[in-house]
Amino acid sequence: MMNLEPPMAPSGLRDFATNDAEQPQPNRPIIRFGLCCQNCGHEYFSLQEVLAGEYGVGGIEATCDNCGRVGSVFHASRDGYDGSLGHLLFLEAVSGRQPLKDDDQREIGNTQVAAGFCYSIELNELAAIAEEEHLAPQDLFDWVVVYARNSDQNAWREVWEYECA
Ligand SMILES: [Zn+2]
């Protein structure tokens, strides 16, 4: 199992400050980071999906509910294993955005957001690929999960995921 000590955020989260980093647990092999606005430090966001032409959803963004700064949480064309290695450049064009909705078709806003990254590749193999490609090993995740937590909830809930390898 992947273990990066201290937890290292993928470079795709460059638009945010992060907090509450969590190492993988035996029953949950995901490194998770809470997101804060890089501009104002606020922790509540609205989420929107980024559309990539005929291929559908290509990524996700979070807009700060306080200052309005928009940050990319993930985009398949550049983030994750396939994105970092340039396998998905055909997704590059952004054709639109739509609010991310929950199972009850309500837009997801005024919520804390966390991003989780899963690494299925053995660490030594991952390190070898990263060195060969001049990439950071934490960028070669193969699954991303976005979590939301409203102020009246205690638990994170999964609201979006993308397999990127
Ligand atoms: Zn802000």
Residue numbers of the domain that contains 89? 11-163
CA of 47 to the centre of ligand 1 (A): 14
Number of domains in the chain: 1
User: Residue-wise pLDDT tens for the chain (165 aa)?
Assistant: 455 555 689 999 999 999 888 877 766 678 899 999 999 999 999 999 999 877 788 899 999 999 999 999 999 999 999 999 999 888 877 889 999 998 889 999 999 999 999 988 877 888 899 999 999 989 999 999 999 998 777 789 999 999 998
CA of 14 to the centre of ligand 1 (A): 14
Q: Which amino acid is at 74?
A: F
**Residue 90 belongs to some domain of the structure:** yes
**Residue 156 belongs to some domain of the structure:** yes
Whole-angstrom distance, CA of residue 8 vs CA of residue 89: 25
**Residue 2 belongs to some domain of the structure:** no
**Residue 97 belongs to some domain of the structure:** yes
Given the structure tokens 């998770």, which residue do they identify?
32
CA of 158 to the centre of ligand 1 (A): 23
**Residue 3 belongs to some domain of the structure:** no
DSSP state letter for 113: E
CA of 115 to the centre of ligand 1 (A): 17
- Taking phi first (over 0 means left), then psi (-120 to 50 degrees means alpha), and beta for anything else, what does residue 58 get? alpha
**Residue 1 belongs to some domain of the structure:** no
